[in-house]
Amino acid sequence: MEVKIIHNASEVYEFLKEKTRYDYIYQVNDLSPKEWDNVICYGLFDNSQLKEIAMLLINYDIPVLLAASFANEKYNTELLSKIKKFLPSKFYTHIDRETLDNVFHTKNILELEEYMNMGLCNYELLNEKGGNEAARLGFNDLEDIKELINESYPEAWLDDDLVKLNKNFGIYVDGKLVSFAGIHAYSEEYQVVAVAHVTTHPDYRQKGYGEKVVCSLVKDLKNKIDFIGLNVKVNNLAAINCYKKLGFEEFGKFVGCEIVNNCD
pLDDT of residue 133: 78
User: What residues contact residue 180 under an 8 Å CB cut-off, 6+ apart?
Assistant: 137, 145, 148, 149, 168, 169, 170, 197, 198, 199, 200, 213
Q: Which domains does the chain have, with CATH numbers?
A: 2-116+254-260 (3.40.630), 122-246 (3.40.630.30)
The length of the chain in residues reads 264
pLDDT of residue 263: 54
- Reading the chain (264 residues) residue by residue, the pLDDT tens digits are 999 999 999 999 999 999 999 999 999 999 999 999 999 999 999 999 999 999 999 999 899 999 999 988 899 999 999 999 999 999 999 999 999 999 998 788 988 999 999 999 999 999 888 766 799 999 999 999 999 999 999 988 899 989 999 999 999 999 999 999 999 999 999 999 999 999 999 999 999 999 999 999 999 999 999 999 999 999 999 999 999 999 999 999 999 999 998 755
Q: So what's the pLDDT on residue 144? A: 97
Output the pTM of the full model: 0.94
Model pLDDT, residue 57: 97
The confidence score (pLDDT) of residue 264 equals: 54
Strands 248-260 and 90-95: antiparallel
* Residue 18 identity: E
Q: CA–CA separation, 61 vs 88, rounded Å?
A: 12
